[in-house]
């Protein structure tokens, strides 16, 4: 476990905050009003610790025109911890050494995770298997074979506990341990029909969520959950997805995070396979079974390819693949296709929008003028305004704390219509 964790955590985007007893402060910071994952990491980077960030929040809010701002009370954080323990769950905070190494690399990684089950499954190489809720019989059979093969090879199958492909993937991987990422609280199984499956998962695998115990899942929680599914995984395998399927949101997250996107082809006349076929057409890796997945992960590592002679190739096993750095060779056409499908990637270049050369004068007003109710990518906003990210960040934070701007998963900002 230690060896793989070190290999998968090389050059992380964030580093854990200092003192070991910082867990309560981390929970209080992320549960404070208008502090989401991206704001949490910005505050941590600027102030060095969760305690220092909590102390600075009221002054930051006052500077943004909010006089009555107070961070999450200690009692509220302690009550959440007690509720999680009653549900049989463990709280894992950003500073915990057991925090998943791959997930730590994600820009908007969760500040806290509630876990229930066997945490040792995190030591295995994680591969996501996702797809349609209304899957075909063929798609369900393919998902079962894919997940079972990956599990038997030593990988941990990651999915979202949804109906259809996700449910079958979890069921097929129960014997080896599977990871179910939930949209609601650790004690709120959705859909309810998977309650028994969730209990089985806890025997050998893990339930994971960033939401507080008691939280009912709502629509906005599912895209946030999807980024955790892909963030935990070395690769995301889409088994069956329509042209505008929600599974493509997870594929979008995977590309944002530098993960490999793979897809199982389907019949061209079956609308449920339209999304997979489009991804493959534009360069996603075509896979037919678990062996294809492991081989693709290995072949996309240039170091391993150079070191392995043609006559004596390295066996494609989860252990061998886990020992490779995360270096994804994903065609740009896949990102373009997802953008066309309405699941755009925030790394795409500007297309003909004029750059704002006004500098930092009246920065908050200029930010508000550039934003609307539809999400705008923060990187694009930085380029449009012509202001360094370090200058823009405090202004955005002030607008978030004042409630005028909201941060959306995937590095996006929008005016708060509430």
d(CA 66, CA 177): 47
Which range is least confidently modeled, 35-49, 108-122, 151-165, 390-404? 390-404
From the CB of residue 249, how many other CB atoms can be counted at a distance below 10 Å?
A: 24
| Nearest alpha carbon to residue 324 among 332, 334, 314 | 314
> At 354, is the secondary structure helix, strand, or coil?
coil
Q: Is the pLDDT of residue 313 over 70?
A: no
- Cross-strand bridge partners of residue 233: none
Task: Return all residues near 390 (Cβ < 8 A) that are at least 6 apart.
Answer: none
Q: Is the pLDDT of residue 96 over 50?
A: yes
Q: What is the pLDDT of residue 283?
A: 83
From the CB of residue 19, how many other CB atoms can be counted at a distance below 10 Å?
A: 11
Q: What is the pLDDT of residue 320?
A: 53
| Nearest alpha carbon to residue 116 among 198, 17, 60, 173 | 198
Tokens at 268, concatenated: 């061209």
Which range is least confidently modeled, 1-15, 162-176, 252-266, 288-302? 1-15
Assign 19 a pLDDT band (cuts: 50, 70, 90).
very low
pTM over the 0.95 mark: no
Helices (DSSP H) in 285-404: which residue ranges? 290-299, 302-307, 318-322, 332-340, 363-370, 378-385, 389-401
Q: Where are the beta strands (DSSP E) in 59-122?
A: 90-93, 112-117
């Amino acid at each position: 476990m230690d060896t793989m964790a070190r290999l998968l955590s090389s050059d992380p985007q964030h580093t854990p905050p200092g003192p070991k007893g910082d867990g309560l402060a981390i929970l209080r910071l992320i549960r404070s009003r208008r502090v989401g994952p991206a704001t949490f990491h910005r505050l941590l980077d600027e102030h060095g610790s969760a305690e220092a960030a909590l102390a600075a929040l009221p002054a930051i809010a006052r500077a943004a025109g909010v006089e009555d701002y107070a961070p999450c009370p200690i009692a509220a954080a302690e009550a959440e911890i007690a509720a999680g323990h009653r549900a049989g769950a463990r709280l894992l905070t950003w500073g915990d050494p057991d925090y998943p190494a791959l997930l730590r690399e994600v820009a908007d990684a969760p500040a806290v995770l509630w876990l229930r089950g066997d945490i040792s499954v995190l030591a295995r190489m994680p591969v996501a298997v996702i797809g349609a809720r209304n899957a075909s019989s063929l798609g369900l059979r393919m998902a079962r074979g894919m997940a079972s093969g990956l599990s038997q090879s030593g990988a941990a199958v990651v999915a979202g506990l949804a109906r259809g492909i996700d449910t079958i993937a979890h069921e097929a991987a129960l014997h080896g341990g599977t990871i179910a990422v939930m949209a609601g609280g650790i004690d709120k199984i959705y859909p309810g029909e998977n309650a028994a499956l969730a209990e089985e998962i806890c025997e050998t695998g893990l339930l994971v969520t960033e939401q507080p115990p008691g939280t009912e899942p709502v629509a906005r929680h599912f895209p946030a959950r999807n980024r955790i599914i892909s963030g935990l995984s070395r690769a995301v395998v889409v088994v069956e997805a329509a042209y505008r399927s929600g599974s493509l949101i997870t594929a979008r997250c995977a590309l944002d995070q530098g993960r490999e996107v793979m897809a199982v082809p389907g019949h061209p006349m079956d609308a449920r396979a339209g999304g997979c076929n489009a991804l493959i057409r534009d360069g996603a890796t075509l896979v037919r079974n678990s062996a294809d997945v492991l081989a693709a992960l290995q072949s996309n590592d240039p170091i391993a390819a150079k070191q392995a002679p043609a006559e004596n190739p390295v066996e494609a096993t989860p252990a061998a693949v886990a020992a490779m750095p995360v270096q994804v060779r994903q065609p740009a056409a896949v990102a373009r296709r997802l953008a066309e499908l309405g699941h755009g990637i925030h790394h795409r270049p500007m297309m003909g929008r004029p750059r704002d050369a006004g500098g930092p004068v009246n920065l908050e007003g200029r930010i508000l003028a550039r934003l609307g109710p539809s999400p705008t990518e923060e990187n694009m906003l930085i380029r449009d305004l012509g202001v360094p990210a370090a200058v823009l960040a405090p202004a955005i934070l002030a607008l978030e704390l004042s409630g005028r701007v909201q941060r959306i998963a995937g590095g996006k900002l929008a005016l708060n219509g509430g």
